[in-house]
Structure 1
Amino acid sequence: MLFYFIVIISVCSLAFFLFSFLEERKYRNKPYYKLADVGWRKGCPPADAQKVYSVAFLGDVGAVATDGTDPVMQMLEHWQQENPTAGTAVFLGDNIYPVGLPPQGSMHYETATARLNTILNVVKSGAIRPVFLSGNHDWNKGRKGGYEQMLRQQEYVVEALQDKNSYLPPNGCPGPSTVQLADGLLLLIINTQWWVQRGEKPMGTKNGCSYDDIEQFYLELNKILRRNTHQRILVAAHHPLYSNALHGGKFTIKQHIFPLTAAHKRFYIPLPIFGSLYPFYRKLFGAYEDMSHRKYKRMRKRLLQIFHRYSNIIYVAGHDHNLQHFEIRKNHYIVSGSGSKTSFVKKGGRATFTLEQLGFFVINYYDNGAIWMETRVADTENNNKRGNIAFRKELKSTIQVQQEKMEV
């Protein structure tokens, strides 16, 4: 009797996982919209509203094609043409795969410089302001020697663009760095990799940082936010604070049943139960780059404690290779990490929008004070170099009327 019971349970479990796997594959690359945003196509800025400034957020572009056929770079070129004088392109880290910019003579050096030059040539072809920040891969995947790797990339970018403010925060410091983009629109940049970096990392004036204790960072961040409640604040970082994807502890059914596909995409060896050990470990304890890891968790908690005091923040990150939007406690949290790679993102939860597709988010600021978010995605099937808009939404915030002009 026990034997038949075990067989029935096993067959039912296998059937459930197989059905879930097939359904997951069927809907995986389709966008998810929160019920209230299903009719997003009907919404658009008023006809009399004039666009004042535009910001493109591109994450994880480090594996771009270098032969001129990269769809995201083609989309970026078209965005530059749309915004010839009032635009900033923010590169959210992981600018070079797999280990950032190694020294000359390394086996990865030629590929790394070719990819970085491809990106630099695109931004130099227009009049927009480029801003680069670093991610875990730019720091040698968070391992020893990552600090030198990041400094090498910073020097390369600054030299190519002839602009010391093109790589922020400078010198690998935590930040925060600020750039006033337009009247009423502030860009604030944080180097979140500093918190999860395992090797050497800078601190103090000897390394070009403005303070000797990380607690000073939180005080400075809160001070900037408190003094700028009269304008919209775009916070750029590499690590997301909300995510329905891998680094947020979300895994596919395939990863539970065929865990060896993480090592090679053709290793379809079924290992049910045992295959779930790795996803459960990542979800509960996490690698250094996961939200569940103690260092990441501590950083996230401190940042959210500060952000939740305000209602004029749009936080944009990369890291997970997909496109996501969350609206939580009157602030907005965006994941724009599919600049050159895509990976699974779970639908639903607290997200208003998710999509596994190459692309990036654009934030448009208008003269009436409104901010509209656009999700631009690649359309390689139709050879549409401009790309398509997969989602559009007005990002509403509560700002305070400025009583007295303050400096950032």
Structure 2
Amino acid sequence: MLSAPRLPSAMALILLTIFVAAIPVAYCYPTAFQALEGSSSNRTSIKFLVIGDWGGVPHPPYITPVQKATAREMSQVAEQMGADFVLALGDNFYYKGVDSVDSPRFKDTFEAVYTAKSLKVPWYVLAGNHDHAGNVKAQIEYSQRSDRWKFPSYYYELNFHIPNTGKTLTIIMLDTVMLCGNSLDYEDEKPKGPLRAVDANRQLTWLQERLARSRADFLLVAGHYPVWSVSEHGPTHCLLQKVHPLLLKHNTTAYLCGHDHNLQYIEESGVGYVVSGAGNFLDSDIRHWNHVPKGSVKFFTGQASTLGGFVHAEVTKNKMIVTFFQAKGTSLYRTVLSQRHFE
């Protein structure tokens, strides 16, 4: 009986190394420190905007009045207060994402809307449930077409030096749909578990390792689904089971999300929970008010009169200042979070 030709052991090892290394590439991303564009020598903070659920509509004019008003106010706040980058927390294109990297929606709902010079900064993107109804890989691929669209993989880590302070900021961007499953909004269904358990487990293991390893002075985790929310979708039980204990264990500064179409700030066990999902639609629903820890809700608004909203954050040497803005042109709520302390 003839045996198959054997590869030299060195060659076999090289091929195995390449194969193993390639497995997670589609999902996570190298964790080098990001450079802040145009940073001056005398600044001592990092500033950014947080916007979720901003993705227009799939028919002309491909945007909503809320998106338009929010984009206008984002540009004003970014110009006046500063913004080094934007965190875009999913549902980037309603209602079924995009079908390919050549989709006109990238122009109609993104490039042609956020046109102000102050918003020509990196947009760090993650996927929401509506994005997963389409082609998320196409959104990742669009990173090669746009100077500011930064979506390197399904989940990834961002690291920043806070200028002239010796302090650091880490933001871990999750794919909560891959982790927990897709939710059928129109049927008010909760995610019932991941499509592929192996992908969910790989991401969770990666998250555990990143959190355990992090010595960042400010540590943020961002996803599309909320851990805590008082609105229509309410708390995400999968995240409460899998992610919430990790946030507490590793002294995370805050968890940022969208999914519910309003602005919320919830504080529990020293972690801040920021819901910024008012970028395109508004919802004043508070059906889950009693499904979050008692006394934890510090701020909520989803009123149509606000015209939309978003969050501005500033991370300094020893604190993180979070300000909620309505598109109508005024700040609604501000809170301060402390830097992490290690035993």
Determine if the TM-score, normalized by the shorter chain, exceeds 0.5. Answer: yes
Partners of 2:53 and 2:325 in 1: CA distance: 15
Distance 1:297 1:50, change over 3 A: same
The alpha carbon displacement at 1:313 in A equals: 2.3
The alpha carbon displacement at 1:244 in A equals: 0.5
Cα deviation per residue 1:323-363 (whole Å; 9 max; x = unaligned)?
00111111111100000110024268531110114111111
**Which residue identity lines up with residue 95 of structure 1 in the other structure?**
N
Q: Do structure 1's residue 196 and structure 2's residue 181 form an aligned pair? A: yes
Q: Do structure 1's residue 320 and structure 2's residue 278 form an aligned pair? A: no
Q: Do structure 1's residue 354 and structure 2's residue 300 form an aligned pair? A: yes
Q: Which residue among 182, 198, 201 is the counterpart of 2:161?
A: 182
Partners of 2:277 and 2:247 in 1: CA distance: 21
Distance 1:344 1:179, change over 3 A: same
Cα deviation per residue 1:150-186 (whole Å; 9 max; x = unaligned)?
12222234412276xx014x1xx4x3x1111234211
Q: Which residue among 320, 331, 342 is the counterpart of 1:371?
A: 320
**Which residue identity lines up with residue 394 of structure 1 in the other structure?**
V
More helix by share: 1
The aligned residue for residue 388 of structure 1 is 330
Partners of 1:104 and 1:225 in 2: CA distance: 32
TM alignment of 1:150-299, pairs within 5 A = 150-161=136-147, 166-168=150-152, 170=153, 173=154, 175=155, 177-183=156-162, 184-194=168-178, 195-197=180-182, 214-248=200-234, 291=235, 297-299=237-239
Kept after mapping to 1: 8 A contact 2:262/2:282: yes
The alpha carbon displacement at 1:320 in A equals: 0.3
Q: Do structure 1's residue 335 and structure 2's residue 335 form an aligned pair? A: no
The aligned residue for residue 108 of structure 2 is 114
The alpha carbon displacement at 1:67 in A equals: 9.5
5+ long unaligned stretches in structure 1: 1-48, 141-145, 205-211, 249-290, 380-386, 402-408
Partners of 1:130 and 1:68 in 2: CA distance: 19
The aligned residue for residue 301 of structure 1 is 241
The alpha carbon displacement at 1:301 in A equals: 0.8
For the residue of structure 1 that corresponds to 2:90, the secondary structure is: coil
The alpha carbon displacement at 1:83 in A equals: 5.6
Q: TM-score, normalised by structure 1?
A: 0.59
Q: Which residue among 69, 72, 82 is the counterpart of 1:71?
A: 69
Partners of 1:314 and 1:398 in 2: CA distance: 11
Kept after mapping to 1: 8 A contact 2:120/2:148: no
For the residue of structure 2 that corresponds to 1:374, the secondary structure is: strand
Kept after mapping to 2: 8 A contact 1:158/1:167: no
The alpha carbon displacement at 1:126 in A equals: 4.5
Kept after mapping to 2: 8 A contact 1:323/1:336: yes
Partners of 2:336 and 2:90 in 1: CA distance: 26
Partners of 1:311 and 1:137 in 2: CA distance: 31
Kept after mapping to 1: 8 A contact 2:123/2:148: no
The aligned residue for residue 344 of structure 1 is 284
Q: TM-score, normalised by structure 2?
A: 0.69
Partners of 1:125 and 1:375 in 2: CA distance: 18
Partners of 1:104 and 1:231 in 2: CA distance: 37
Count of aligned residue pairs for this structure pair: 272
The alpha carbon displacement at 1:302 in A equals: 0.8
Distance 1:179 1:230, change over 3 A: closer
The aligned residue for residue 3 of structure 2 is none
Partners of 2:142 and 2:252 in 1: CA distance: 34
Kept after mapping to 2: 8 A contact 1:361/1:376: yes
5+ long unaligned stretches in structure 2: 1-41, 57-61, 163-167, 184-193
Kept after mapping to 1: 8 A contact 2:55/2:63: no
Distance 1:53 1:79, change over 3 A: same
Q: Do structure 1's residue 139 and structure 2's residue 132 form an aligned pair? A: yes
CA radius of gyration, larger in: 1
CA RMSD of aligned residues (A): 3.3
For the residue of structure 1 that corresponds to 2:74, the secondary structure is: helix
Kept after mapping to 1: 8 A contact 2:50/2:86: yes
The alpha carbon displacement at 1:113 in A equals: 4.2
Kept after mapping to 2: 8 A contact 1:245/1:345: yes
Kept after mapping to 2: 8 A contact 1:231/1:312: no
| Percent pairwise identity | 21
Partners of 1:78 and 1:69 in 2: CA distance: 14
Partners of 1:217 and 1:138 in 2: CA distance: 18
**Which residue identity lines up with residue 188 of structure 1 in the other structure?**
I
Distance 1:158 1:53, change over 3 A: same
Partners of 1:69 and 1:59 in 2: CA distance: 11
**Which residue identity lines up with residue 313 of structure 1 in the other structure?**
T
Kept after mapping to 2: 8 A contact 1:364/1:371: yes
For the residue of structure 1 that corresponds to 2:203, the secondary structure is: helix
Partners of 1:127 and 1:229 in 2: CA distance: 30
